[in-house]
Structure formats: structure tokens, C-alpha cells
A and B are shown apart, each in its own frame.
Chain A
Amino acid sequence: MGDKNKKSTLSSGFRRTIIGIVLIVSISFLISTYIITQGEQKNYVIRESDNVLRTLSNNIYSDVENYMDISRLIMREQRFVYFLKADRKYVDENMTNDARFGIMDVLNATEGVDCVIAFREDMRKVETNTVSYEFDEGLINSLSWREKIYANEGGANVVLNCNGIARRRDGKPVVTVERAVYDTNSQKRIGILMVNIAANVFQEMLNQLSYNNICIVGEDGTFLAGNEDYLQYYTPEFANPKIINKNIKIGKERMLLSGCGVDNLPIVIMRVSQYGTEGIPYGILYVLLFLLLVFVIMAVHMGMFIKNDITNPIYKLSESMDENKNTGNLKKIDIEMPLMELDMLKGDYNSLIDHVNELIETLLEKEKTVQRAEMRVLQEQIKPHFLYNSLETIGFLALDAGAGKVHDALETLGSFYRNFLSKGDREIPLSREVQIVKDYLALQKLRYGDIWDEEFDIADDTKKFIVPKLILQPLVENSIYHGIRLKGEKGSIKVRARMEEDVLHLTVRDTGVGMTRQQINKILYSERNTKGDIEGESFGLWGTIERIRIYCGSNDVVRIESEVGEYTEIEFIIPERTAIRS
């Protein structure tokens, strides 16, 4: 698992990716929601302001038009016209009063006119409200303020505060409708008429509509009506029929300031509105929220799918493979896989296992064949026929020369080699192995003299038992070289074979110098790779034990008993070959 930890796992990678995606989507949801609501709110407020301003502007304009109509009525009032047209020398207090009454008669039917002021061509004037106003006589006699009025040739102008020639004593602003008056018959100009509209006309209008977030201002910045707090935001750019929107801050709140001039009138309307919740497009937001929810659910589902259907099965697959590796048992994996692809992976692995097992089997078979072939080559090299024929020839020569002992020895040697080679078989019946040992001992006696007695006790039912070739001979050789010869006294070698519960027990016992516990352990427990330690000293015995262990597939096939100076007994315990193979 050490390696797996260094790299991120598939599941944790997916988990991170999915969490990342959910996070990014949520954040972009919040941002887009913010942008959309902000935009929609602003648009909403602007639209609202727009409506209000247009309506109000229309109202104000039509109101002012009303006053223009009134001025027209006054213009036709007989007493007033008489006053204007009268010759200068006839104009007196009475005539002026008559004119005033005439005007008052017209005004009786209306409201909101604060004062009417009229001038004759000679600048004699009549006014309906003498108390509240003060006049700038110097300015009155100048021509400059009249030029604009005359330029309109009888049309009405709307200005603020009587063009400056008169002003209310209490400083309240008025809106003035002014025009030149012409004689209907002669079309000769006969005077100027000014109708002052009180500012509270507008206030009443606002009150009626219950607008409290509006400020009506003259285009010179004079406050006319509404919320005077907003006056500070006035700039001349608003004196324009087009609506201008601005963001302002009142306290800490962000507000929208919208403003426009009323058509052709020197009046500006300003409106301040809050960005309320009314503009939020809840429908869109709910849809977005729903989409987000759907996405999150899908992501979670995706994660679960990857965990349950991909990574967990992969872990299981890997565990099974690991188990194969650890046990060394190349078994196929038998786990249900939830996905086609993983099933394919499992299938591939299983066929790989099959292939490997096949390869191993082929390799083993090949190894066996090679060994058999090598044995045959070896045999071929020894040329047994040549050897046997030579031995026979020499045997005859010996017999012919009367050397019977030589003939016997040659015969024994021939027999030894015939069994020793055994046509290249690696496994032979026990009887043949016993014959090898007998011949071997006979030949060794010729070399070393009569220094031992031998005894064979081979049960009949063991004679056909198949054993690996040359398992007894090395034991006997060991008895001679590492037992009896070292003792310097005549000894004995006993070979015994017995069947016990279908298992062969082969025993070789000699009365040699024996072995110490240490020597026995060295032979029994030396590992294959440390065989250098026991080279020379009983290496043949060690090698034979190894061969039998491999043949039987078990380590528990040998028993060595010994007493130093007395005896050594080595026993092999070999099961039936068929039992080993299965």
C-alpha cells in the first residue's frame, strides 16, 4: 500500500474534482445571481422613475397650460383691455381698479394664481396683490426683460419669479406665465401680462399623488416644491427633457437619482428612489437554484457511482491479485464485477493467470525433457555398449589366464554400471537400487579390504516400490567414508526396507564413528544456498536428502540417529509415487 499512497487514489481524485466542480458552480451561481439581481433591480427602479417623472412632467405641463388659458381669458377681459388701451391722460385710480376687478373676476373661477401683474405700454401697471410683492422699478423701466416677451409675439413664456422685476416679500418662489397683449382689432401691442403661479400648486400636486421622494426645482436652482433635501443634488444638466439617472449615497444606502426638465418649462423634477426588493427576478433565481440543486445531486450521485461501481471493485480486484501474489497460488479471480470494463480487466487478468500457469507447466515439461535428453546424451557419451563389451572381453581374457577373481570383479563392475545408468531412468524399482548398492559394496571391498560386513533386509513388498535412482548408494558410501574407515576397526552396514502404511521406510545403519548432534543438524538444516559449508564433508549425503525432499515435496522425509563412536542410522520415509503426484 506504500506505493499507492504516494499517488492520489482514483476515488480521492474524483472526490476532489467533484467537490471542486460543485464549489465552482456554486460560486458562479452566486456571482451570476448577484449580477442579475443588481441589473434587474436597477432597470426596475429606472423604469419606475421614468414613469413617475414622465407622468409628473405631463401633469405639471398641463397645469401650466391651464394658467396660460387663464392668461388668455384675462387678456380678453373688457375692463382690463380698456385699461390697457385707454389714453394715458384718462388713466386714473378708478380705471386701474376696474381693470383689477376685471382680472379678479376671471381669477375667481380658478385657484393657484398668486398674483397677476400687467403693464401698459407706458409702463403703468396693475396688480392683483399689492401687499405681498415688491417691485424693482429700475428694472421695470429697462427694456431687457421685455425683449424676450415681445419676441414671442403674443405667445406665452414661462419664467421664474417674474423675470426678476417683482418678488414676493416672503421670498416664496413663483412661476410666471407672461405674454405680450395685442389689440384684437388693430393688432397693435398694448401691454404685458404676467400670471404668477404659487409654488404650492406643485406641492399640492405632489401631495395628491402622495409622492414624497420628489423635488421640483426651478432651472436656476430655486426650490419650488417637494423634498427640499434633494436640492443639494441639483445640477444644471437636469434642465433637459431627457431623463438623467445617477447613483447617489444617502446615509449608507445607495440610491438612484433621476431627473429631467419639464417640456419647455424652466422647471426640473428630481426623484430619488431606493433599490428595493421589488426588482429581484425571483423566477429566474428559483430556476437557477433548482438547476444548482440538480447539479449537486448529480455530482453526489456521480461520486457514489464511481465509488461503488469503479473504485471499490478495483480495490477488490487488486486485493485478490495481491492475495495471489502473496500466497504464490496463481488462482483465477472469482468476484462479481459491476461494470463491463472491469469485467474485461478481470477476464484479462484471469486469462493472463491461465497463460502463466500454462507457461509454467510448459517450462516444467521442457525442463524434464531437457533433463531426460541430457541424461541420454550423457549415456551416449559413456557408450555403455562399448563399456560392457570391453568389460566382457577383458573378463574373458582374465578367465582364460586363470584369473577367476578378476573375471568376478569385472562382472560386478558391469552389473554396477548397467544398473547405475538404468537406460537413463531417474526413478527405478527399489530392487534395482539394492543391486547397485550390493555391486558398489563388492567393488569397494576390493579396494579397501574386508573392513565391514554387510547385511540386507529387504521386505518383498518393497522390491517393486519406485524410488529416485541413487538414494541408497550415497548412504552406503557415507557409511564407508565417514563412518567405518575413520574408525580403523571392522564394522557392519545394514540396509533395511519396510512398508509401513503404504510408506516406504529405508534404513541404513553403520557402526562407524557416528555423528555429533551438530553434524546432524548441519546436514538436516543447511539451506540450499549455503551448501558450500558442507562441501566435501558428507556433501553426497546432503545432496541426496535434498533430492528426496524435492521428489516428495516435503522436508519431513529423513531421520538421522547416531551415537558418537557407536553407530549412525539414517532413515528415509518415502510415500508412494502416485500419492506424491496427486
Chain B
Amino acid sequence: MDRKYRVMIIDDEESARKLMRAAINWDELDMEVVGEAASGIEAINVIDDLKPDIAFVDISMPFMDGIEFTQTATGRYPNLIIIIMTAINQFEYARKCVSLPVFDYMLKPMVRSEITKVLVRAKKKLAESNDFWEEQKAEPTGEAAYESNATELIKKYVGENFTDSKLNLAFVAQHFGFSSSYLSRKFKQDTGKNFIEYLTDLRMKKAITIAKSNVKMYQAAAEVGIPDPNYFSRCFKKYTGMSYSDYVTSKAE
């Protein structure tokens, strides 16, 4: 493969993410860290943009833990290499993911040399298999018949289902039988927006109406389909230019 392998780090601890980013010599491994997520919820929302080959997933995270994320992701991204990170006292958790198709488990606190070893093995496996993301791009669609109104149908579907926190591009593409890459392009073409932007805008619009009735942020977040209030908060600020609580106060006055 002529490109660098893309790595994503999913951990609720910022310092842990930063450490991972800083501690490993990614260039040497011919890899790059393309992004992070502070929860499973955030990961589901950003993964389609990041297109990772390898994901480090912390097992205990609030709102959507590593196991639930893995369950969701393995269906949508069959080639994704998932490496579970777990603390020693989370044995019960670890036992649950024995049945999951994860590449390996790593004990926290992590040791660099061990991470490197696992990554070398992962690289080998990736080299043997096809490039999933490239395949998605190259695959021509056979569903031309639907093309004219496909975007409308998808918009309608998303409009009805955006409160489902697991909704993302890969899922919708699978649902309608498109490749995600094609869908992404077509969607942007037809609407002028990224799929994820469109989805987030829908959620934020609803959040704004909810905010007017003075609902707590975490409750509003759960209601619109982003049950991780931290991620929700960032999305909200990006969308409205102010924090949720400020928005609530400003509307109250």
C-alpha cells in the first residue's frame, strides 16, 4: 500500500490520548494518528471522516463503552483493526469482549515497546488484506435507478432517525445499499453539506428548541442523539457560537 496507515485513538482521558500520540514513533511504523475521540459516541460520529485502519479503544468509557463501540463498528467496518485497552481491574469487561473480533488486548498502563510490537503485527495483517477505504471509493454503484431521489429518501430517513445515537454514514450507506464513499460524494453534491454536518445540524436544530424550555444539557444531548454531553457541548458551540448554558441563559432573559 502506498499510503500511511491511519490510526484513531478512542479514550475518555485526554492525557491518555495525548500520551499515546506522543509516545509512539508513528513515522517509523509508517503510520499516522488521524484523530481522537473522547467517547464511543464521538467516535461513531467522526469515524467516517477519519477513515482509520487501526483503532485503539479504551474499554471503560461513559455513554458508550469500548465493547458497545466494538460491536457497532465491526459490523460497519469489517477490516478495521480494533485494539482494546483495559485496566487490570476490569476483568469482567475483558471477559465480555472475548467473543468480539478484536485484534488484541493491551493492559493499562501501556508500555511503548508492547504497543509497537502489536502495531507491527497489525501492519502485517493490513498489508495482506485489501484496502477497505479504497475499495469503498472504487466500487461503482449498481443502484442507478434510485439515484434521482436517493438523496431525498436518505434525508427523509435521517430526519426520522437522527435521535438514534448510532446513526452515521456507514450505517445509512449499508442501509440503502451504497458504498459509503459514493454516498458521501453524492450527498455532498446534492445537499452541499457533508453527511455528518447534515446530521449534526439536524440534531442541533432540535437542541436549540429544547434549550428554549430550559432543559439540562445532558438531557438535551441524550434527546437529540448525542448522549455524550461533552461532545454535544462542542457541537453546540460550533453550531451556535456559544455554550449551551450561555444559550439557555440568553434565551431566558
A residues whose Cβ falls under 8 Å from a Cβ of B:
446-449, 481, 485-489, 513, 535-536, 565
Partner of A486, one of B13, B218, B245: B218
* Contact across chains for B13 and A448 when beta carbons are under 8 A apart: yes
B169 within 8 A of A: no
Cα A448 to Cα B17 with chains together (Å):
12
CB pair A489 B217 closer than 8 Å? yes
Asked if B219 is at the interface of the complex by the 8 Å CB criterion, the answer is: yes
Give CA–CA (A260, B92) in the complex, Å.
120
Give the residue of A447, A481, A487 whose beta carbon is less than 8 angstroms from that of B13.
A447
- B13 x A488 contact (CB < 8 A): no
17 further contact pairs, Cβ within 8 A, besides A447-B15, A489-B218: A447-B13, A448-B13, A449-B14, A481-B62, A486-B62, A486-B218, A487-B218, A488-B221, A488-B232, A488-B233, A489-B217, A489-B233, A489-B245, A513-B218, A535-B92, A536-B92, A565-B219
User: Please, what's the 1-or-0 string for B1-33, where 1 marks a CB less than 8 Å from any CB in chain A?
Assistant: 000000000000111100000000000000000
Q: How far is the CB of B207 from chain A (nearest CB, A)?
A: 12
What residues of A have a CB within 8 angstroms of the CB of B221 in the complex?
488
Q: Is the CB of B92 within 8 A of A488?
A: no
Smallest CB separation, A392 vs chain B (Å)? 19
- Whether, in the assembled complex, B185 has its beta carbon less than 8 Å from a beta carbon of chain A, the answer is no
Does B193 touch A at the CB level, under 8 Å? no
Least CB distance from A484 to B in Å reads 10
Smallest Cβ-Cβ distance to A488: which chain B residue = B229
Q: Given the complex, which residues of A lie within 8 Å of B230, measured CB to CB? A: 488
Closest CB pairs A-B (n = 7):
A488-B229, A565-B216, A487-B218, A488-B230, A447-B13, A488-B218, A488-B233
Q: Which residues of A contact B13 (CB under 8 A)?
A: 447-448
Instruction: Find chain A residues with CB under 8 A from B58 CB.
Output: none
* Inter-subunit contact B14/A487 (CB<8 Å): no
Q: Is B53 an interface residue (CB 8 A)?
A: no
Name the distance in Å between B231's Cβ and chain A's nearest Cβ. 8
Cβ-based interface call for B36 (8 A): no
Min CB distance B244 to A, Å, is 8
> From DSSP, what is the main secondary structure of chain B's interface residues?
helix
Q: Complex Cα distance A513/B233, Å?
A: 16
- A301 and B53 CA atoms in complex are apart in Å by 101
What are 23 A-B interface contacts by the 8 Å CB criterion?
A446-B15, A447-B13, A447-B15, A448-B14, A449-B14, A486-B63, A486-B218, A487-B217, A487-B229, A488-B217, A488-B218, A488-B221, A488-B228, A488-B229, A488-B233, A489-B218, A489-B229, A489-B233, A489-B245, A513-B216, A513-B218, A565-B218, A565-B219
- The interface residues of chain B lying within 8 Å CB-to-CB of A536 are 92
A474 to chain B, nearest CB (A): 14
Report the Cα distance A448→B233, complex, angstroms: 16
Contact B92 A485 (CB under 8 A): no
User: Assuming the A-B contacts A565-B216, A565-B219, are A486 and B14 also in contact, with contact meaning beta carbons closer than 8 angstroms in the complex?
Assistant: no
Q: How far is the CB of B213 from chain A (nearest CB, A)?
A: 13
List the A side residues contacting B228 at CB < 8 Å: 488
Q: Which residues of A contact B233 (CB under 8 A)?
A: 488-489
Tell me, in angstroms, the Cα distance from A117 to B229 when the chains sit together: 168
Q: Most A CB atoms within 10 A — which of B16, B218, B219, B221?
A: B218
Complexed CA–CA distance, A485 and B15 (Å):
16
For A481, give the chain B residue with the smallest CB separation: B62
Instruction: Give A489 to B220 CA distance when docked, in angstroms.
Output: 13
Closest to B219 in A: A565
Q: Which residues of B contact A488 (CB under 8 A)?
A: 217-218, 221, 228-230, 232-233
Q: Which residues of B contact A485 (CB under 8 A)?
A: 62
Q: CB-nearest residue of chain A relative to B227?
A: A486
User: Nearest-CB distance from A451 to chain B (Å)?
Assistant: 9
The residue in B13, B216, B217, B233 that gathers the most chain A C-beta atoms within 10 A of its C-beta is B216
Instruction: State the CA gap A446–B230 with chains docked (Å).
Output: 17
Taking the closest CB of chain A, its distance from the CB of B249, in whole angstroms, is 13
C-alpha spacing A449/B92, complex, angstroms: 28
Residues of A within 8 A of B63 (CB): 486
For A446, A449, A486, A565, the residue with the greatest tally of chain B CB atoms inside 10 Å of its CB is: A486
State the Cβ distance, B77 to closest chain A Cβ, in Å.
27
| Interfacial residues of chain B within 77-106, with CB under 8 A of chain A in the complex | 92
User: Which of A485, A488, A565 has the most chain B CB within a 10 Å cutoff?
Assistant: A488
What residue of chain A has the Cβ atom nearest to residue B63's Cβ?
A486
Verify B92–A487 contact, CB threshold 8 A.
no
CB distance from A480 to the nearest CB of B (A): 11
A536 to B92, CA, bound (A): 9
In the assembled complex, the Cα of A536 lies from the Cα of B228 at a distance in Å of 19
A interface footprint on B143-185 (CB within 8 Å = 1, 0 otherwise): 0000000000000000000000000000000000000000000
Chain B residues within an 8 Å CB radius of A449: 14
Q: How far is the CB of B246 from chain A (nearest CB, A)?
A: 11
> What's the Cα separation between A447 and B19 when bound, in Å?
12
How far, in angstroms, from A513 to B220 measured CA to CA in the complex?
Answer: 12
Report chain B residues within 8 Å CB of A565.
216, 218-219
User: Chain B's nearest CB lies how many Å from the CB of A473?
Assistant: 15
Closest to A566 in B: B216
Q: Which residues of A contact B218 (CB under 8 A)?
A: 486-489, 513, 565
Q: Is the CB of B15 within 8 A of A487?
A: no
Give the CA-CA distance A446 to B13 in the complex, in Å. 10
Contact with A along B228-244 (1 / 0, CB 8 A): 11101100000000000
A510 smallest CB distance to B (angstroms):
14
Question: Which residue of chain B has its CB nearest to the CB of A489?
Answer: B217
CA distance A405 to B233 in the complex (A): 29
Interface residues of B in 206-227 (CB under 8 A from A): 216-219, 221
Indicate the member of A447, A449, A489 with the most B CB atoms within 10 Å: A489
